[in-house]
Homo-oligomer: A and B are copies of this chain.
Amino acid sequence: MALKTRDDYLAALRELRPNIYKFGELIEDVANHPATKRTVKSHARCYAAAQDSDLSKMYTTTSAFTGEPILRWNSMMLDESALISNMKFKRQNYRRTGTCTGAVCVGWNAMNVMWAVTEEMDTEYGTQYQARLKKWILHAEQGGLTVSGALTDAKGDRSKPPSLQEEPDANLHVVEVREGGIVIRGVKAMICGTAAAQEVFLLPGSAYKEPDKDYAVACVVPRDIEGLTIVEARHPSDKRELEDTTQVEVPDTGITQGWLLFDDVFVPNERVFMCREAKYTGKVIQYFTANYRACIGACVTGQGDVMIGAAMIMARANGLNAKKFMGKLVDMSINNQITYGLGAGAIALGKKHRSGAYFADPLTAHTNKVMVATLPYEVKRLTQDIGGGIVETGCMPSYADVSHPEYGPFLKKCLKAGDCSVESRFKAARLSEWLTIGAGVPGCMHGGGSPDGAKLVVRFTTPMEEYAEYARKIMDIPDDIHEPAVPEKK
């Protein structure tokens, strides 16, 4: 039965070998350790939603292979509507958690991207990658798995390709090809949500040329595979998560980013979908970013929706009518809808791949990435503008102070600003702070790649010379107006 429940999911996580560290300490139980429990609970809500009559349509679908009901994040995305559903699912989940579905979204996208790329490789090389992948997809569907994904390598010296690095392990690579599988080694950096994941889908981090073919590797590994150590990165105000203040801090939601250290990990062949086909790494990046950058618009929109709500309850908790800020709330909504609408537009302008996979329009998707790296910052700024000083830099005392036996009562009586209780005002302030300058801030700028990279794609997918031709024709200019003969010195 593919529609695993919340309990199934939590039980499955408990089965995994502990291999995640934070603050130098091994996390024995990801579902209960304060550094990881928030993201686990947050993803567990997806399983709960799949059982909820109101939400199940959004959180589940049917298998393209078996026709059986499956979790949406295990599904093939073979047409526009499937991708739009991906967006709707993400926006909705952000609204419910205020944060990222990072343990499901990259793996989901990766599997669809590789569906197309394996088809192309099989055609050229006569390999059987797609058949292997299909088998694994069926396994994921059946298991109702949470599969995170990893592209970004630690990289090292950026002026050199992986194979010329002083440190070969700065990028994940194949160190040995054995009969039954491959051995991989190296570091994937800043990988989202692995603490809540059961498996991790690995893709090459960039487009490589032939000399870097060892770095052309795609495969899936169990999160607790032998040889893999995960170190969770710090994030803003993460020490608050270690405090036992569930009644005042943001509970049950959050995301993690980890460094994945692969120390000679053996991956059996049936889980390997690319091995040294450097030529196809460019396709992986191209297809991946097209769909990923179309859909992330929905994530930041969903969080923006919560910021509208947070600003409204904060205004009211401050004793002010939220309508007073209507102009700003409308501006926030416009900013939100731009990234959502652009994502949907990129999908609507997309194309079906020969393999059946569907990919969004690159120019629009990368335009969206640039917006995703810009507009949410303005939405945060407006959230702070509306919320007042106590959300901006978190000028609220700690709960230990507010509940202090001596001076707590004096503080409390003066913290009340309207009808709403001090505790509620306190929580509202913490939410705005968490969303705008705390652990709830997602990686809009570099998550899924940098805006500068997106601008490069915009540059090369905009047919600029064609536009120059249109201009020339409108004016009936007979000359071919070309670049000046003498090259510009820079």
Say whether, besides A309-B468, A462-B308, A481 and B156 are in contact (CB < 8 Å): no
Say whether, besides A377-B381, A388-B450, A479-B424, A404 and B234 are in contact (CB < 8 Å): no
18 pairs of residues in contact across A and B, judged by CB atoms under 8 Å? A155-B417, A157-B319, A231-B397, A235-B393, A250-B474, A309-B468, A309-B470, A312-B468, A324-B488, A333-B462, A334-B370, A348-B348, A377-B378, A384-B445, A385-B451, A393-B441, A419-B482, A424-B478
- CB of A341 within 8 A of CB of B364, answer yes
- CB of A236 within 8 A of CB of B394, answer yes
Task: Assess whether A354 is interfacial by the CB under 8 Å rule.
Answer: no
- CB of A455 within 8 A of CB of B385, answer no
Contact of A313 among B385, B447, B468 (CB under 8 A): B468
A460-490: CB near B (< 8 Å → 1, else 0) gives 0010111111111111111101111111110
Question: Chain B contacts of A400 at CB under 8 A?
Answer: 23-25
Complex Cα gap A231–B238 (Å): 22
Say whether, besides A321-B483, A397-B259, A485-B419, A414 and B235 are in contact (CB < 8 Å): no
A393-432: CB near B (< 8 Å → 1, else 0) gives 1111110110110010011011111111100100110110
Nearest Cβ on chain B to A235's Cβ, whole angstroms? 5
| A23-70 CB contacts (< 8 Å) to partner B | 23-25
Nearest Cβ on chain B to A223's Cβ, whole angstroms? 16
- CB of A414 within 8 A of CB of B263, answer no
Question: Chain B contacts of A394 at CB under 8 A?
Answer: 233-236
Task: Assess whether A274 is interfacial by the CB under 8 Å rule.
Answer: no
Nearest Cβ on chain B to A286's Cβ, whole angstroms? 17
Say whether, besides A169-B413, A377-B381, A395-B190, A389 and B443 are in contact (CB < 8 Å): yes
Complex Cα gap A219–B444 (Å): 47
Say whether, besides A471-B310, A474-B97, A154 and B414 are in contact (CB < 8 Å): yes
Nearest Cβ on chain B to A232's Cβ, whole angstroms? 7
Contact of A392 among B156, B231, B398, B446 (CB under 8 A): B446
Shortest Cβ distance from A446 into B: residue: B389
- CB of A395 within 8 A of CB of B334, answer no
Question: Chain B contacts of A80 at CB under 8 A?
Answer: 348
Task: Assess whether A96 is interfacial by the CB under 8 Å rule.
Answer: yes
Question: Chain B contacts of A308 at CB under 8 A?
Answer: 462, 464, 467-468
- CB of A471 within 8 A of CB of B393, answer no
Complex Cα gap A25–B405 (Å): 12
Nearest Cβ on chain B to A358's Cβ, whole angstroms? 13
10 new A-B contacts at CB < 8 Å, known A24-B401, A237-B239: A157-B319, A231-B397, A237-B238, A312-B468, A313-B472, A320-B488, A333-B458, A348-B348, A427-B476, A431-B475
Question: Chain B contacts of A442 at CB under 8 A?
Answer: 393
- CB of B156 within 8 A of CB of A416, answer yes
Task: Assess whether A305 is interfacial by the CB under 8 Å rule.
Answer: yes
Copies in the complex: 4
A153-195: CB near B (< 8 Å → 1, else 0) gives 0111111100000010110000000000000001101100000
Question: Chain B contacts of A309 at CB under 8 A?
Answer: 464, 466-472
- CB of B333 within 8 A of CB of A157, answer no
- CB of A326 within 8 A of CB of B418, answer no
Task: Assess whether A12 is interfacial by the CB under 8 Å rule.
Answer: no
| A339-384 CB contacts (< 8 Å) to partner B | 340-349, 361, 363-364, 367-368, 370-371, 373-374, 377-378, 381, 384
Nearest Cβ on chain B to A272's Cβ, whole angstroms? 23
- CB of B313 within 8 A of CB of A395, answer no
Question: Chain B contacts of A22 at CB under 8 A?
Answer: 398, 401
Task: Assess whether A139 is interfacial by the CB under 8 Å rule.
Answer: no
Task: Assess whether A16 is interfacial by the CB under 8 Å rule.
Answer: no
Shortest Cβ distance from A191 into B: residue: B395
Shortest Cβ distance from A473 into B: residue: B96
Say whether, besides A23-B398, A473-B96, A467 and B312 are in contact (CB < 8 Å): yes
